[in-house]
Chain A
Amino acid sequence: QKEVEQDPGPLSVPEGAIVSLNCTYSNSAFQYFMWYRQYSRKGPELLMYTYSSGNKEDGRFTAQVDKSSKYISLFIRDSQPSDSATYLCAMSGNQGAQKLVFGQGTRLTINP
Chain B
Amino acid sequence: DVKVTQSSRYLVKRTGEKVFLECVQDMDHENMFWYRQDPGLGLRLIYFSYDVKMKEKGDIPEGYSVSREKKERFSLILESASTNQTSMYLCASSLGGSRGYEQYFGPGTRLTVT
Contacts and interface: CB of A to CB of B under 8 A. Distances in A.
Nearest to A8: B40
A98 B41 contact: no
A32 interface: yes
Interface stretch (B14-22, B78-86, B101-109): B101-109
A100 B43 CA distance: 10
A102 B42 contact: yes
B58 to A, nearest CB: 7
Contact of A96 (B39, B41, B98): B98
A98 B42 contact: no
B40 A42 contact: no
A interface: dominant SS: loop
Contact of A46 (B48, B103, B106): B103
Given A49-B102, A98-B48, A104 B94 contact: no
B100 A95 contact: yes
Nearest to B31: A98
A64 B104 CA distance: 23
A85 B104 CA distance: 17
Contacts of B100: 92, 94-98
A5 B31 CA distance: 26
Contact of B90 (A8, A43, A90, A99): A43
Contacts of A104: 40-42
Nearest to A91: B101
A9 B100 CA distance: 28
B96 A105 contact: no
Q: Which 10 A-B pairs have the closest CB atoms?
A: A43-B105, A104-B42, A102-B43, A96-B100, A97-B100, A44-B105, A32-B101, A102-B42, A95-B98, A46-B102
